[in-house]
Amino acid sequence: METRSYITRRDAIEYEIVQVLDGPGGGDTTSADYDVDAIAADVLGTIGEGTTYRYVVSVDEDEFWAAVIRHAIIDDEQRALNLGPEGLAKADAILSDPTATQALNGPIRLTWDGPAVGEAYTPGAPGTADDQWTVTVEVRDPDDPDTWVPLDTILPLPAGTAPGYWEQVTTASFSGAHQDPTDPMPYASSESLLLSNLRLERDRLEEIVTPW
């Protein structure tokens, strides 16, 4: 991504973020579908010293698009499409459960069990365990604050709910069979999906744990 600098942050946002998202590179979405200011916080930096500085995009292209995906605005209609009727009901049950509320008001982390970005790998056959990568929401164990546990393990399972549906709300899985291992966007997309579906604010995210 070519580096250009701007006197004002507003200009940097307009030319480096808004126009990119509204142009052909943004696909079917526009800048209105994203939290542009949050993207700017992740991708803009400054050059210069003291009171003489200019704004620039300070990340590479992969990091830029990962930030875009993280800050997609997902409304209730999109959440329903993401999760389906049962999944949406489970997500809302989490958000109304006192135990969950206490857990989610504390720090959270995401764990990722896929290959490292840029790491060579041989995916398994589609649908097999070796082909499925997962991002999971974890919170502090209420009984042992030094221990992280998957969110779904400390919450009561609603009556009549299949465990798989409950886990669906707190994990995001996708197939790696046709993914480029140098592309971080599938992981960033799963991260964004979990945070949005559970209405989790990014300031609750203490860390992202990866196997590398």
pLDDT in tens, 126-180: 555 555 667 788 888 878 888 888 887 776 665 555 555 556 667 766 555 445 5
Tell me how far apart the alpha carbons of residues 164 and 171 are, in angstroms, rounded to a whole number. Answer: 10
Of 206 and 117, the one with more pLDDT:
206
Of 80 and 27, the one with more pLDDT:
80
pLDDT band, very low/low/confident/very high, at 67 (cuts 50, 70, 90): confident
pLDDT band, very low/low/confident/very high, at 15 (cuts 50, 70, 90): very high
pLDDT at residue number 121: 55
**Residue ranges of the domains in the chain?**
5-70, 76-209
Give Cβ neighbours of residue 112 (< 8 Å, ≥ 6 apart): 133, 134, 135, 187, 190, 208, 209, 210, 211
pLDDT at residue number 178: 42
pLDDT at residue number 92: 80
Tell me how far apart the alpha carbons of residues 140 and 122 are, in angstroms, rounded to a whole number. Answer: 34
pLDDT at residue number 43: 92
Candidate ranges 19-23, 81-85, 179-183; pick with highest mean pLDDT? 19-23
pLDDT at residue number 78: 74
Give Cβ neighbours of residue 67 (< 8 Å, ≥ 6 apart): 39, 42, 43, 59, 188
Over residues 188-211, the pLDDT tens digits come to 666 666 777 677 666 566 666 665
Of 65 and 186, the one with more pLDDT:
65
pLDDT at residue number 103: 73
Provide the token pair at 2: 């070519």
**What average pLDDT does the structure give for the chain?**
73
Q: pLDDT at residue 186 above 60?
A: no
